[in-house]
Chain A
Amino acid sequence: MLFFSGKGGVGKSTVTAAMALLAAQQGKRVLVVDVDAKGNLTDLFEHEPVGFKPVEVHPGVHVMTMHTEESLQEYLRLNLRVPVLGRIGPLARALDFVATAAPGVKEILTVGKVCWEVRESIEGRADWDVVLVDAAATGHIVAQLGAPEAIRDLVSVGPVRAQTEWMSDLMHDPAVTALNVVTTPEEMPVNETIELVGRVRSELQVPLGAVIVNRVLPELFTHADEETFEAMRDPAAVNRLVDALGGGPDVARGTTAVLDAARMAVSLRRTRAGHLAELRRAVDLPTLFLPYLFVREHGLRVTRMVAEALGEELGL
Chain B
Amino acid sequence: MRRQAAATRGAENLEPLLATKEIVIFCGSGGVGKTSMAAAAALEAAVRLGGRVLVLTIDPARRLASALGLEGGLGNVERRVPDDVLKQAGIEPRGELWAAMLDTKQGWDDLVLRHAPNEETAMRILDNRLYHNITARFVQSHDYIAMERLFDVHATGKYDLIVIDTPPTRNAIDFLEAPKRMAEFFGGRLLRWLTMPYRMGRGRGARVINVASRPFYQLADRILGSQFLQDIAEFFLNFQSMYDGFVERAHAVERLMHDRRTTFAVVTTLEAAPLREAEFFMEELVSRKYHLGALILNQTLPAYLRSPEGARVADALVADPTPAAGALVELGIPALSEPDRTARVLHTVGESFRNFAVVATREAELRAELAEAPDVVVDVPRFEGDIHDLAGLAEAGRHLFGESSGNHR
Contact = CB atoms under 8 A, between A and B. Distances in A.
Contacts of B99: none
Most buried by B among A9, A139, A220: A9
A25 interface: no
Given A234-B333, A245-B313, A295-B358, A253 B307 contact: yes
Nearest to B351: A220
Interface in A124-170: 137, 139, 143, 154-161
Interface of A: 7-10, 36, 38, 40, 76, 80, 82, 87, 90-91, 93-94, 97-98, 100-103, 137, 139, 143, 154-161, 186-189, 191, 220-221, 224-225, 227-232, 234, 236-237, 240-241, 243-245, 250-251, 253-262, 264-265, 267-268, 271, 294-298
Given A159-B223, A258-B314, A94 B216 contact: yes
Interface string B301-318: 010110101111110110
B191 interface: yes
Given A294-B358, A298-B272, A258 B313 contact: yes
Given A8-B29, A225-B341, A294-B355, 16 more contacts: A76-B219, A94-B190, A100-B185, A101-B235, A102-B224, A155-B228, A160-B225, A186-B386, A220-B349, A240-B330, A245-B313, A254-B307, A257-B307, A257-B353, A260-B304, A262-B348
Interface residues of B, number: 85
Interface stretch (B90-98, B151-159, B240-248, B320-328): B320-328
Interface string B183-210: 0010000110110000000000000000
B3 interface: no
Nearest to B185: A100
A261 B353 contact: yes
A255 B305 CA distance: 11
Nearest to B326: A244
A257 B304 contact: yes
A258 B348 contact: no
B61 A187 contact: yes
B235 A267 contact: no
Nearest to A156: B225
Interface string B220-249: 111111011100100110000000000000
B348 A7 contact: no
B346 to A, nearest CB: 8
B388 interface: yes
Contacts of A160: 223-225
B402 interface: no
Contact of A221 (B31, B63, B314, B345): B345
Contacts of A262: 348-349, 352-353
Nearest to A267: B384
B345 A228 contact: yes
8 smallest CB-CB distances across A and B, nearest first, come from A9-B31, A8-B30, A254-B309, A257-B310, A267-B384, A244-B327, A254-B313, A231-B335
Nearest to B361: A296
Contact of A94 (B194, B331, B334, B385): B194
15 contacts: A36-B170, A101-B134, A103-B133, A191-B62, A230-B335, A244-B326, A245-B324, A253-B309, A254-B312, A258-B350, A261-B356, A264-B356, A267-B384, A271-B385, A298-B272
Contacts of A264: 302, 356, 384
B31 A188 contact: yes
Contact of B310 (A188, A258, A265): A258
Contacts of A80: 222-223
B316 A7 contact: no
A174 B327 CA distance: 61
Contacts of B341: 224-225, 228
Interface in B339-376: 341-342, 344-346, 348-350, 352-353, 355-359, 361-362, 365
Given A7-B31, A103-B137, A296-B362, A228 B348 contact: no
Contacts of B302: 260-261, 264
Contacts of A260: 302, 304
B51 interface: no
B224 A158 contact: yes
B184 to A, nearest CB: 11
B333 A243 contact: no
B336 interface: yes
B29 A9 contact: yes
A15 to B, nearest CB: 14
Contacts of B384: 264, 267-268, 271
Interface in B118-142: 130, 133-134, 137-139
Contact of A101 (B130, B220, B225, B330): B130
A8 B168 contact: yes
Nearest to A75: B223
Most buried by A among B134, B194, B235, B349: B349
Contacts of B228: 102, 154-156
A228 B342 CA distance: 7
A221 to B, nearest CB: 7
Interface in B156-183: 168, 170
Contacts of A225: 341, 344-345, 348
A299 to B, nearest CB: 10
B6 interface: no
Contacts of B16: none
B82 interface: no
Given A9-B32, A257-B313, A243 B327 contact: yes
